[in-house]
Structure 1
């Protein structure tokens, strides 16, 4: 691990903010690091308001999208809500279809089959719409590159509205409306919405046209918050407001599908991290192991017994997914070792029988092991399909673009993408990808980085300090949970390795007569660093530990040296 201490913020600004807010200097420093320098900015940060959401009609084509949907509803047209099979896509379909059903009964939902149709808008989906007399398709979390598909739909008299957040290509599809804040000609003030967030802006636009108050839309925000967490978009600006209110809904009045999934979870308050690790994998498991429509059905179900039954099925899919990802990860690691590819700048592995639904997770696992841009391929029909994952600071989408002569199709983000290619192109592509990455990546990016917000002493960690820190949530990219560093620590002498294979480190750290319990997940091998009361320094975040009904502050150690 390399530790990077954030540059010191302007001291005068920090002091002024600390005075105006009547907070600790460290709290003020953390705020300034996040671009919050005035009392009003801090008020917006600590008290997110629905009034801070932007006017949806600032988004290019929003007026066209709203008008076309209003026409379809008033004329009794059949509308199909189409979305990708991941969390962002399935939550988007649940959100849009359940909202439109409050106006019309002519609403169908469609999720492509991951294996038969692949990612994005499919000809099969358009043919299904044609067969069922559907004249309008609203595509969510996909469609920005579906040039030929949208043209094909038009030839069958089917209109498209696209709600996407992926980067557009040089040409936009010939749809009635293309809602995507990343369009170059779109002046929407916030560019980092997820697909479900763009869908929410569309229902906000429809609601405002019908003089429906924003408060009526709050129950849908549990879906948006889940997509924000799962899609790893920045939790800043508008996303922060949407996630804040969405988490309130999840914790206070969750939809029955969430309630069913959480019925076995013993947690009183869910954070965005819990959403990412508890809800998202289960929603994703349906599309990975069976079909994404199972997730949509669960998310819109209004009978609790039925929801429990759906949730139980999804629990089985999730268990199968875990087994598959564990065995494939082991096979992939073996392949890397057998081929003596540990010293490369990239990981590219392929096995034709690997389960297509879990190759993205496997790519993430391999990135954790070797920490370099990673591609995991499997066979998909006549072609090979891959999931790509990157390391912090390196744009894998651009790297794939540089290899596009060997690729049939690709799309995605800076840190995660998907692609297909012909089998005969695999070896030359693998060579080219290694070449592109090795010549463009800053070598220090191949060592995992811990970004440290500031250095503090243990005595500064008080219940009041932690109470204010908790209000920095929801956390996520752009607003990560603060990370601190303290030097000159010693262990009380009772530090030990715990957990399966003694993988984790449990200890109590002390300095200047202050002692705090600590846990370091994955830090078991570093037990020697704290032995015999030797001095060490640590980077950590702060959280609460509940034991036998007693709640105390603890340090979550990220690394020690």
Structure 2
């Protein structure tokens, strides 16, 4: 048995209101996937499957849009100096590029400013506004930031500068006193409120230019996908057309980025999410974000190539910094004696604050806890960092309820950034843990995979994958469909990758072979018996190699619903093999006295010795995850009793034998009969002198001759004196089975044949029978029988 890492939820479609009109012509799979996304009407299906630029809303419906457009046009006409104030992430960088290109196209005198994450922090700040005023700026336009800049808005007003805020982040209690605020969530008349920062900037560009700015779609898609806004409504349209625009973009910066990322011409949302977005983000995480903006704006191929290579190197550096900090944070958490708290708050001096959001995400994925990662500034006695959460815990709402602990705070339900006095870190941890303890149940501390459908191996074809991809682009609000392969035994299972940290399975159904790849799932290899029936959750994808395309599954999670048998019989590297079971609920069982060779077992695992009947009677009923059977019992019923009482999820057959009854030619009844007849004729027989000749003559082993002799002696058929056998003149009439020696030897044969020389399936069947008997007995007790 193997528990899944995540909680698996099958999508329910029993709601009558989510039933699609039967007149809509779709394949059953597409119909099911759309229904599960609440897309059931003819109009909704058409809009979803065929995004159209005509479905975008009029930008003038947005709050203060008309006021902002008039002020910007006035500034351009009067040749006022305009400053675009952006943010340092991929959304802010692309939004800055959109606004810069728009204003330059309109002939504005414009420059841009992005604060340094390390020296200035997130969002507008007074010093930057003071400098802008000193340089003659009279109008500041924020993109992807500003909705929490109450003080800075007052500073701008005092200095005589107009401030236009365009943002998409959560609106806080007090709104800045700005000239205009262009924000979908402040706009009651605007139909869609989930635009990214670049999406809001794009709307302002549309309003300023009058004509729809198709030439900016390759920029708007970057921030829209990288910032993880829901890919529905307007975002789906912008992402869909933006990916096409990005695929054919002739911007030198885009071309150079695609080259360093080794991307194909046809771009996907995954190319942005895993290649372009992280590289643009890496710049602002380690230094000023200006190179990222310049890369998107440059007209020079040479400059673009140089900037792209520079950004590529920064991204490699960023990856190492993230890895180093994550390892340090994990070491701190693993060393805690009291276990993991409900909310992880980990802080240390010297951590690079630019990557703490990524580190927090890693810790959430590993520990399934809301996580805050902070870097300590000892000079200012402050803690600054980022937070990521789990689905069940609204980070923004809970942090806002303890807003007094923070100097600065902003974000949304699943992610946030913050600054607070160092002395408040412990209070923050305590307060959030208390809230989580009050709100969350144990099952909430597991990642949730929402599964769209079970699927048969034979149905995973290139045509099926093409059909599923009709629903792309995938992302927040429209996740890539997850499918479950239910209870299938792989024909091949191996670890792959330089560090063996990935897993590859091969399933077979008739003539159909299917590969399944699990990145980061290599640790499960030792936890699954090769013959176990697995259930797998994953995404469908296409593996293209040497010009050939074939379907595959990208595994997210695996579970085994039944108990597992790990066949380790005769394994001479047992200690190394059992390392994967350490620190788990495991019990080692010995039926023979423990020897020095077994000391490593007793040092690493709980263990019991069952050497006599009394010990079996005193053995309590319990339940263990892993039962390690270290040697074979003298009687199969003894092992059956252990299995029935322990009810293990996993059984490890770890025993071996060097002196086997099974491999020896044990005598049968005819052998006994012939030997007794020989004694009747000869009256006596000397084991040591005559035994070897008899063995050679009959083709028997000396062990067999000695065994027959001692059974006859036990039954009082013969007497043995210094190796000389003589018949008992008045023997009692007894059957061979009355001999304890005979019984033990043939029981040993039965034990070895059942436990050691059986096939895997035969051994599994025997253990199944023992566990079935335990289940039946439990059912009898439950029913009062």
Q: TM-score, normalised by structure 2?
A: 0.68
Higher relative contact order (CA 8 A, sep 6+): 1
5 Å matches for 1:24-39? 24-39=27-42
| Matched-pair contact (CA < 8 Å) for 1:78–1:135 | yes
Aligned positions, number:
551
- Structure-1 residue corresponding to 2:551: 553
SS in 2 for 1:125: helix
- Structure-2 residue corresponding to 1:6: 11
Deviates more, 1:288-297 or 1:254-263: 254-263
- Structure-1 residue corresponding to 2:514: 516
CA apart distance, 1:14: 5.4
CA apart distance, 1:349: 0.9
Out of 271, 278, 285, the position equivalent to 2:282 is 285
Distance 1:498 1:117 in 2: 44
Listed one character per residue, the Cα deviations across residues 82-121 of structure 1 (whole Å, up to 9, x for unaligned) are 0111111111111101111011240010001111111001
Listed one character per residue, the Cα deviations across residues 279-330 of structure 1 (whole Å, up to 9, x for unaligned) are 1111111111110112111110110101111112212221221111111111
5 Å matches for 1:143-222? 143-183=146-186, 186-208=188-210, 212=211, 214=212, 217-222=213-218
| Matched-pair contact (CA < 8 Å) for 1:497–1:504 | yes
Deviates more, 1:267-276 or 1:155-164: 267-276
Distance 2:439 2:350 in 1: 32
Distance 1:359 1:67 in 2: 40
Distance 1:468 1:72 in 2: 50
Distance 2:20 2:174 in 1: 50
Structure 2, gaps ≥5 residues long:
1-5, 560-785
- Structure-2 residue corresponding to 1:525: 523
Distance 1:220 1:506 in 2: 41
Deviates more, 1:101-110 or 1:247-256: 247-256
Q: 1:296 to 1:12 in 2, by over 3 A?
A: closer
Listed one character per residue, the Cα deviations across residues 357-409 of structure 1 (whole Å, up to 9, x for unaligned) are 11111111111111111111113562221211101232111121122221111
Q: Does 1:253 align with 2:256?
A: no
SS in 1 for 2:165: strand
Q: 1:11 to 1:413 in 2, by over 3 A?
A: closer
Listed one character per residue, the Cα deviations across residues 461-515 of structure 1 (whole Å, up to 9, x for unaligned) are 3333222211211100111111112323222x23211113322221221336543
Distance 1:329 1:488 in 2: 35
- Structure-1 residue corresponding to 2:221: 225
| Matched-pair contact (CA < 8 Å) for 2:184–2:193 | yes
CA apart distance, 1:254: 4.6
Distance 2:153 2:539 in 1: 48
Distance 1:325 1:530 in 2: 31
Q: 1:316 to 1:230 in 2, by over 3 A?
A: same
- Structure-1 residue corresponding to 2:457: 458
- Structure-1 residue corresponding to 2:638: none
Distance 2:93 2:307 in 1: 15
Distance 2:16 2:461 in 1: 23
SS in 2 for 1:387: strand
Structure 1, gaps ≥5 residues long:
none
- Structure-1 residue corresponding to 2:128: 125
Distance 2:262 2:98 in 1: 27
Out of 349, 352, 377, the position equivalent to 2:346 is 349
Q: 1:472 to 1:359 in 2, by over 3 A?
A: same
Q: Does 1:84 align with 2:87?
A: yes
Distance 1:334 1:465 in 2: 44
Out of 60, 63, 80, the position equivalent to 2:63 is 60
Distance 1:313 1:402 in 2: 42
Distance 1:12 1:323 in 2: 50
| Matched-pair contact (CA < 8 Å) for 2:144–2:198 | yes
Listed one character per residue, the Cα deviations across residues 107-140 of structure 1 (whole Å, up to 9, x for unaligned) are 0100011111110011122012101111000001
SS in 2 for 1:388: strand
Distance 2:463 2:408 in 1: 53
- Structure-2 residue corresponding to 1:337: 334
Out of 232, 236, 243, the position equivalent to 2:239 is 243
Q: Which has the larger radius of gyration?
A: 2
| Matched-pair contact (CA < 8 Å) for 2:333–2:340 | no
- Structure-2 residue corresponding to 1:138: 141
| Matched-pair contact (CA < 8 Å) for 1:14–1:29 | no
Deviates more, 1:296-305 or 1:495-504: 495-504
Q: Does 1:276 align with 2:278?
A: no
SS in 2 for 1:399: helix
Distance 1:442 1:74 in 2: 60
Distance 1:501 1:433 in 2: 37
Distance 1:512 1:246 in 2: 42
| Matched-pair contact (CA < 8 Å) for 1:9–1:32 | no
CA apart distance, 1:241: 0.4
- Structure-1 residue corresponding to 2:634: none
Q: TM-score, normalised by structure 1?
A: 0.94
Q: 1:24 to 1:80 in 2, by over 3 A?
A: same
CA apart distance, 1:48: 0.9
Listed one character per residue, the Cα deviations across residues 196-228 of structure 1 (whole Å, up to 9, x for unaligned) are 1111111111122xxx2x2xx122122221112
Q: 1:113 to 1:264 in 2, by over 3 A?
A: closer
Q: Does 1:95 align with 2:98?
A: yes
- Structure-1 residue corresponding to 2:3: none
| Matched-pair contact (CA < 8 Å) for 1:485–1:537 | yes
| Matched-pair contact (CA < 8 Å) for 1:490–1:511 | no
